[in-house]
Chain A
Amino acid sequence: MNPSMKRAIPTAVVALIAILIPLFLNDKTVYVQTVLSAVVVVGLSLFMGYAGQASLGQGAFVAVGALTVAVSTVSFNVPPLIALIAAPVTSAGLAYVLGLPLLRLRGHYLAFGTLAVLLLVGALMGGVPILGGGAGIVGIPSLGIGSLVVTGQLFFAYLALAVLAVTMVVSRNVISSRFGRGVRAVAGSESAAASSGVPVLRTKLAVFALAGGCAGLVGGITAFFIPYVSAESFPPSMSFTYVIMAVIGGLGTLWGGVVGAVVVSVLVQALNTISNIPGTPPIVGLILQYAAYAIILILFLLYMPRGLWPTVGDAVKRRLAKRVKRSQTDYSDQHA
């Protein structure tokens, strides 16, 4: 077996498990939402980890994707499939246009700038009638082509999974390309990258647009899945959760985004289950969620700042390297 095939085995096993899980779930809502948030987080991780920038407002692009689907299908009778394709395009386009002025900001300023964009999108959705106004948009049609309409949660589970797979393949190829080396150089040092001929702003813009496109596609799928879009559908806390997932999983690693999304979602679900046990006052659940969330985020930032995936991965690698070394020394001892 050649090494590249060997490396593909764990990926195949994970994929198989991911395909099997929804078959055993009665309610697949959490599964779909987890996989979809993994897509957003992979994009965000690309932007935060590789391009070295923070976005606290990634939910804005999810919202725009959802709005694209909701407004175009409900108000303009656009066929659902075209609306779904338009969602990531609109979000990526908006990310590009907003990025032109916004990405001149760095660090804290960019973090607050993206947060401001998110709140602006929320304010517009709450105030402009065609974008839902106060009531939100209902009556989004089912996804399908012509009379061929798909419904059912299983379809959405596999659609989300397929989107995640495509996102990861695209992201991996982007990172390992010539452009991707430029992206990593920007994360290391902007001035060094610029002096080696990397167009810094254009590179950051491209990654921002890619991450925005991921978020937009997720928003579009969510709009079909939930069939309701309102200003309250995308609260800032959701965007913070994406950041938390990205950080816990490990910024700047593809699998880190997925691991972070799964770990946080499972955690939230576990806390929900605990708080739903009969006899627990409803307020306890709320506290468990807020507090557990926050404490885990803080502990991770302080004691595992690189995130789960890189830290655990390195530990495993070190362990393996040690074992190989030991077997080599055993061998040389015997033949001494």
Chain B
Amino acid sequence: MNALLIYVVSGITIGATYALIGSGFVVVHRVTHVVNFTQGTLAVFGGLISYSLLSFSIPHGLAEVLAVLLTGLIGLVFAFVTIGKRGTPPLTALLITLGLSILSEGIFVTIWGQAPIAPEGLGGATVLLGASIENQRLLTAGISAIAFILLGIFFGRTYLGKGMTAAASNPRAAALVGIDSRRMGFIAFAIAGMLGGLAGVVTAPFSPISFSSDLPLALGGFAAAVFGGLSSPWLTVVGGLVLGISGQLVAGYFGGSYQTVAALVMLLVVMIARHKSLSAEEAK
């Protein structure tokens, strides 16, 4: 029972990471129809930048917030490269973001080297229902929840957020009422950058991050986003949690090496099971 609880809680925190990265995919895809392959890369940026800022003895809190803002900026730079030129088809844009993630790996190796890095996080552990859980994991779950609530408020209540939804659902009608859908695309990339960066910042202290962490993170996030058809943030959260918890259960009861296999199989099964609704928009 004790072990089960630990698996579930750590599954929730990993799931929250996937959900954060996945909602980055969703935000960009809704507005621009581009799948942003750099979503995992941005998380790596977040973790590594926060590590560097902390090592410059910038206080906790400020360093993490700065790291998230900087990844938002990096997301914006990626947006200029990816969708700055008009008329780039979505699949070409996917390959451009693939190029950006390869380029970023070079940057990671140059600045931070190849060894995995864990920035200092919240130390200690809390005993919860008889199971000891690291505080950083609890913090991750809490901050992710706050991020999702803020995201919901942004899209549902603010003018800018509604404009982005409008640009997503009907670019032409949105343009008629004066919404610049290209600008909305840039903002979406920046938000996705911050979401990815946040995922990296909060999880790096308990799961060290390196230049090669981008691919597993991107795949996990994409798998979560596929639950919501790359367009529903709430289903992405559900997807992330299902993925995270089941992954931890598989790892706990069958061994860690099966965790990747389970996640990949789940990604494939969900995509194939939902192929009719997923591919409706991709069909020409």
Binds B, one of A14-22, A71-79, A116-124, A255-263: A116-124
CB of B173 closer than 8 Å to a CB of A: no
B contact residues around A120 at 8 Å (CB): 261, 264-265
Q: A112-B219, A294-B99, A302-B96 are in contact. Are A119 and B260 (CB under 8 A)?
A: yes
Question: Which residues in chain B, 185-239, are within 8 Å of chain A measured between CB atoms?
Answer: 215, 219, 222, 226, 230
B contact residues around A189 at 8 Å (CB): 284
A contact residues around B91 at 8 Å (CB): 54, 107-108, 111
A290 and B278: CB pair below 8 A? no
A contact residues around B143 at 8 Å (CB): none
A contact residues around B35 at 8 Å (CB): 108, 111-112
- Closest residue to A112 on the B side, CB-wise? B222
Question: A293's contact among B81, B90, B92, B102, by CB below 8 Å, is which?
Answer: B102
B85 and A302: CB pair below 8 A? yes
CB of A312 closer than 8 Å to a CB of B: no
Binds A, one of B54-62, B155-163, B268-276: B268-276
B110 and A123: CB pair below 8 A? no
Question: Which residues in chain B, 48-107, are within 8 Å of chain A measured between CB atoms?
Answer: 81, 85, 88, 90-92, 94-96, 98-100, 102-103, 105-106
A contact residues around B94 at 8 Å (CB): 54, 108, 111
Give the shortest distance, in Å, between B72 (CB) and chain A (any CB).
21
Q: A105-B272, A115-B219, A240-B98 are in contact. Are A291 and B106 (CB under 8 A)?
A: yes
- In whole angstroms, what is the CA distance A286 to B107 when docked? 10
CB of A135 closer than 8 Å to a CB of B: no
A109 and B279: CB pair below 8 A? yes
B272 and A190: CB pair below 8 A? no
B contact residues around A298 at 8 Å (CB): 81, 96, 99-100, 103
Q: Main SS of chain B's interface residues? A: helix
- In whole angstroms, what is the CA distance A101 to B274 when docked? 11
A290 and B105: CB pair below 8 A? yes
Give the shortest distance, in Å, between A297 (CB) and chain B (any CB).
4
B92 and A301: CB pair below 8 A? yes
A contact residues around B102 at 8 Å (CB): 237, 240, 290, 293-294, 297
CB of A8 closer than 8 Å to a CB of B: no
Question: Which residues in chain B, 230-284, are within 8 Å of chain A measured between CB atoms?
Answer: 230, 257-258, 260-261, 264-265, 267-268, 271-272, 275, 278-279, 282-284
Interface size on A, residues (CB 8 A): 45
Question: Which residues in chain B, 136-150, are within 8 Å of chain A measured between CB atoms?
Answer: none
- Closest residue to B255 on the A side, CB-wise? A127
Q: Main SS of chain A's interface residues? A: helix
B282 and A108: CB pair below 8 A? yes
- In whole angstroms, what is the CA distance A287 to B211 when docked? 13
CB of B109 closer than 8 Å to a CB of A: yes
Q: A112-B267, A119-B260, A123-B261 are in contact. Are A247 and B95 (CB under 8 A)?
A: yes
Give the shortest distance, in Å, between B39 (CB) and chain A (any CB).
12
Number of A-B contacts (CB under 8 A): 127
- In whole angstroms, what is the CA distance A240 to B94 when docked? 12
- In whole angstroms, what is the CA distance A102 to B275 when docked? 9
A117 and B215: CB pair below 8 A? no
Give the shortest distance, in Å, between A236 (CB) and chain B (any CB).
6
Q: A191-B283, A283-B110 are in contact. Are A123 and B271 (CB under 8 A)?
A: no
CB of A243 closer than 8 Å to a CB of B: yes
- In whole angstroms, what is the CA distance A146 to B91 when docked? 49
- Closest residue to B259 on the A side, CB-wise? A123
Question: B95's contact among A106, A116, A290, A301, by CB below 8 Å, is which?
Answer: A301
CB of A172 closer than 8 Å to a CB of B: no
Q: A105-B275, A298-B96 are in contact. Are A287 and B284 (CB under 8 A)?
A: no
B264 and A123: CB pair below 8 A? yes
Given contacts A108-B282, A293-B99, 8 further A-B contacts (CB under 8 A): A54-B91, A108-B91, A113-B272, A123-B264, A127-B258, A190-B284, A240-B102, A297-B102
Going nearest first, the 8 A-B pairs with the smallest beta carbon separation are: A290-B106, A294-B103, A297-B99, A107-B282, A294-B102, A106-B282, A108-B35, A298-B99
Please give the residue numbers on chain B whose beta carbons come within 8 Å of chain A beta carbons, in ascending order. 35, 81, 85, 88, 90-92, 94-96, 98-100, 102-103, 105-106, 109-110, 215, 219, 222, 226, 230, 257-258, 260-261, 264-265, 267-268, 271-272, 275, 278-279, 282-284
Please give the residue numbers on chain A whose beta carbons come within 8 Å of chain B beta carbons, in ascending order. 54, 56, 101-102, 104-109, 111-113, 115-117, 119-120, 123-124, 126-127, 189-191, 236-237, 240, 243-244, 247, 283, 286-287, 289-291, 293-295, 297-298, 301-302, 305
A-B contact pairs, 5 of them (CB 8 A): A106-B282, A112-B271, A120-B264, A294-B103, A298-B103
